[in-house]
């Protein structure tokens, strides 16, 4: 029989903090919440669908074959994409949340978080991809020159104003906004952006067809594999490379609402473990951070330790999303 441990105030705080984070994550990020009791058949429409209807519905986006090369450039063992979603105020403005204090918390990404992160990336010579809503750039245009200063980073699309595509539920309007964002970035950068990442990683039933028509090289919104894969639509390969994401490798579920409890050090240990497994498997790692979240001082301390750890391993290819997408498109087995 195990001895009974005396609960100390420290034990209670740690257990409470961890439980709170788990509860917040489950509440905020569950994609398909369970229907309320009493909804019956109305709350479970799948029970009334035929097999053919189910197949038609899910074939709007399916995971295709792995796009893994025989080897990464220069014989590297693993490819690592360090990416940042520069949401800043865009999601709040889109939802009509216009109170000063709330907006200032996210503006921090432009004023302080991004410069601090860029200094770290330059110190470590790590290229990154910055998924940026057009409105975020329009409100803080100085960010673009800061990102482009070293010439090693990529700027990719993240919607017009971090719009929710499922809530929009309107194919023509979704396409208008994506083309508007693409046109803005083409004019601003002097080249058409290669990739796109949907706001909150949430695609609509129309999205993949729209991405194909707009002509992106890659998308980074889906979660069907750990490795890059072919994005399918109605059983056909779209030609779009999917660079998959994961809530496990994103900072917001852990840190956004719960502040710094648990410690950022515990969260960054998850990222190190994800890297270690990707390194062992010889595959791919996609990390996602937000400057207004992970650009805070205590979190950049841990981000720096993570970068140092990954760089201490031989055979790590740090690359932009565009570089990985182009490489696997040409070299996948």
For the chain, strand residue ranges (E) read: 62-66, 78-85, 128-132, 154-157, 195-196, 218-219, 229-233, 236-242, 284-289, 316-318
Give the pLDDT confidence score for residue 36 in this predicted structure. Answer: 54
Q: Which CATH architecture has domain 62-331?
A: Alpha-Beta Barrel (3.20)
* CA distances, 97 to each of 103, 113, 324 (Å): 8, 21, 36
pLDDT of residue 21: 37
**Mean pLDDT of successive 10-residue stretches along the chain, which has 333 residues:** 39 38 38 57 93 93 95 98 98 97 96 98 98 98 98 98 98 98 98 98 97 98 98 96 98 79 88 98 98 96 98 98 98 95
DSSP letters spanning 137-172: HHH-THHHHHHHSSS--EEEE-TTT---HHHH--HH
pLDDT at 257: 61
What is the reported pLDDT for 260? 62
The Cα–Cα gap between 47 and 257 comes to: 36
pTM listed for this prediction: 0.88
Map out the domains of the chain as residue ranges: 62-331
Residues 6+ positions from 107 with CB-CB distance below 8 Å: 88, 89, 140, 292
């Amino acid at each position: 029989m195990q001895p009974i441990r005396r609960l100390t105030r420290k034990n209670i705080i740690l257990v409470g903090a961890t439980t709170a984070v788990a509860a917040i994550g489950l509440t905020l990020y569950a994609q398909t919440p369970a229907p309320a009791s009493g909804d019956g058949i109305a709350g479970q429409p799948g029970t009334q669908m035929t097999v053919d209807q189910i197949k038609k519905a899910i074939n709007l986006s399916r995971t295709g074959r792995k796009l893994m090369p025989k080897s990464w450039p220069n014989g590297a063992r693993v490819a690592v994409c360090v990416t940042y979603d520069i949401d800043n105020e865009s999601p709040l403005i889109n939802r009509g949340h216009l109170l000063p204090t709330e907006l200032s918390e996210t503006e921090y990404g432009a004023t302080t978080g991004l410069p601090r992160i860029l200094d770290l990336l330059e110190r470590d010579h790590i290229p990154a991809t910055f998924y940026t809503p057009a409105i975020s750039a329009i409100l803080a245009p100085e960010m673009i020159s800061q990102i482009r200063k070293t010439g090693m980073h990529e700027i990719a699309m993240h919607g017009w104003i971090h719009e929710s595509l499922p809530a929009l539920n309107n194919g023509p309007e979704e396409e208008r906004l994506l083309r508007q964002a693409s046109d803005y970035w083409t004019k601003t950068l002097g080249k058409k952006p290669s990739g796109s990442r949907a706001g909150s990683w949430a695609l609509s039933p129309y999205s993949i067809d729209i991405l194909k028509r707009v002509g992106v090289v890659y998308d980074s919104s889906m979660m069907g594999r750990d490795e890059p894969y072919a994005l399918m639509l109605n059983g056909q390969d779209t030609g779009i490379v999917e660079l998959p994401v994961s809530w496990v490798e994103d900072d917001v579920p852990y840190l956004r609402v719960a502040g710094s409890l648990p410690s950022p050090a515990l969260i960054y240990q998850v990222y190190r473990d994800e890297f270690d497994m990707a390194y062992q498997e010889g595959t791919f790692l996609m990390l996602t951070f937000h400057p207004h979240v992970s650009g805070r001082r205590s979190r950049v301390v841990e981000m720096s330790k993570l970068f140092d750890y990954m760089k201490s391993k031989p055979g790590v290819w740090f690359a932009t999303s565009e570089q990985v997408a182009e490489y696997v498109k040409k070299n996948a087995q």
